[in-house]
Amino acid sequence: MDLTDWGMKMHIFLVNCSGSPQYVSPMKVVLTPIYYKGRPAIEIRFPYNFKLKEYIKQFKGVYWAYQKRTFYFYHRDSQLRKFKKHLKAGGYKFTVEKPSKTKVVRRKKEFLLKPITPKKAATHKKFLQFLEGRRYSESTINVYGNFILDFLRHSGKKDVNKLDAKDVRLYIEWAVKQLDYSISTHRQLVGAIKLFAHFYPSCSIDMERITMPRRDRKLPVVLSKEEVVSLLQATKNLKHRTVIAMLYGCGLRVGELVNLRLKSFDFERRQVRIVNAKGRKERYVTIAENSIPLLQNYYATYRPVEYLIENPRGGKYSSNSIRAFLKKSSELAGIKKNVNPHCLRHSFATHLLENGTDLRYIQELLGHSRPETTMVYTHVTRKDLREIKSPLDSLTAPPSENLYIDNSNPSLSWDSSGISLIK
């Protein structure tokens, strides 16, 4: 008897998303209706078996949920029937569980929300179809879908036709306080609710009474050229280094990089075609000469099939994985700033502007619709402001006095840059 046969005869316990163990008979697949990324889905749970796992992956439309650590597919009645037939054809048994209606996970926190009524569930499904019909991106559909799903759950059993501005206010207050939403996420939430009120005019929500918080005027986090070099040097993995080189060298968004296909490269013209970018726009970006040997080495090593950066199991690479290794690499490089994929895009634009590139060309390379969006980098690269000397620098003191010594504490002094040093 091998280990596989021995393991299959043991009692197998399966840990679900809540962490509580559930007994599952060997080789039985459990299908549970859930909401994932704001959309109704079917979670697929089973005791680990390599053959069964590979068989499930053969079904078109099955995905791996990185956060939940489980397989799933988006719920349609026809899709569910097809998957059941797929399991039967493979000789596998299955059960369909009732959904957990109250426990939700948001921002790595568990919350108990009131159960959603069948009418609200049907309304939410139609809202997602409405977003698809207006050709919103998958990311926007997921984000808006989650907002509206939580809003409908938060209002409890109240009829969807009677939802009003007070229900909106109570939900926003709960979400901002409990989930610690930033200003930008808060604005997205309000935008989603206004769109829902437009989609479902039968409700009593007065859009004029929903206030949008003012936008933050934060300056982008930018790395120096020396920090970019340190980041590349600290990144030993060839694939990860290629990701950094493309994000910084081409000014790509992380979503554009993970969707970048091999056929989009034109090495003769030193260009990459970016398709289906933000706002469904297309553009060309230049390939850095210094990145070409890196790209050639990467391709010879990893042999990607369709996308430039691929998952080891095939298909698109995860943007979460990119954020994770960037955080580790920045720590190894000793960079104290919050380094994320968009920080490299900001650095690309800022360094171009510092090198004298015209703002109109930078706008084109970044794919911005409005020049005002690109203008933010002028606040980061104001050389004229950096050349202005502070009044403190113009102060003079008698030669016998040293302004950089703390006489009350002889062990404390200041270097020429103003950084405190302990002798």
- Cβ atoms within 10 Å, residue 36: 21
**Quick one: average pLDDT of 258-280?**
90
More confident residue, 204 or 406: 204
What is the Cα–Cα distance from 423 to 145, expressed in whole angstroms? 58
Q: 114-118, 198-202, 235-239, 307-311: which range is least confident on average?
A: 114-118
Confirm if 102 and 77 have CB atoms less than 8 A apart.
no
pLDDT at 218: 80
More confident residue, 126 or 78: 126
pLDDT at 423: 39
pLDDT beyond 70 at 107: no
Confirm if 274 and 264 have CB atoms less than 8 A apart.
yes
Distance (Å) of CA 3 to CA 49, 160, 313: 12, 54, 25
Average pLDDT score over the chain: 82
pLDDT beyond 90 at 41: no
**Quick one: average pLDDT of 40-45?**
88
What is the Cα–Cα distance from 16 to 418, expressed in whole angstroms? 54
Q: pLDDT digits over 162-206, tens only? A: 999 999 999 999 988 888 888 989 999 999 999 999 999 988 898
Which contacts qualify for 312-316: CB closer than 8 Å, 24 or more apart? 316/258, 316/259
The closest alpha carbon to 290, from 340, 244, 240, belongs to 244
What is the Cα–Cα distance from 90 to 92, expressed in whole angstroms? 6
CA 171 to chain centre: 24
What is the Cα–Cα distance from 307 to 111, expressed in whole angstroms? 37
Q: Does CATH number 3.40.1440 belong to domain 3-100? A: no
What is the Cα–Cα distance from 174 to 56, expressed in whole angstroms? 39
Q: Does CATH number 3.40.50.150 belong to domain 225-378? A: no
Q: pLDDT digits over 279-324, tens only? A: 778 899 999 999 999 999 999 999 999 999 998 877 889 888 999 9
Dihedral angle over CA of 28, 29, 34, 36, nearest 10: 140
- Domain coordinates in residue numbering, the chain: 3-100, 106-209, 225-378
Known catalytic residues are 253, 278, 342, 345, 368, 377
**Quick one: average pLDDT of 20-36?**
67
Q: How confident is the model at residue 334 (pLDDT cuts 50, 70, 90)?
A: very high
Distance (Å) of CA 42 to CA 32, 83, 139, 156, 413: 5, 10, 19, 23, 64
**Span 106-209 CATH architecture:** Orthogonal Bundle (1.10)
What is the Cα–Cα distance from 165 to 76, expressed in whole angstroms? 32
Angle of helix 292-302 relative to helix 238-250, nearest 10 degrees, comes to 140
Confirm if 176 and 186 have CB atoms less than 8 A apart.
yes
Confirm if 22 and 16 have CB atoms less than 8 A apart.
yes
pLDDT at 34: 80
Confirm if 367 and 252 have CB atoms less than 8 A apart.
no
**Quick one: average pLDDT of 95-115?**
69
What is the Cα–Cα distance from 154 to 167, expressed in whole angstroms? 8
**Quick one: average pLDDT of 113-140?**
88
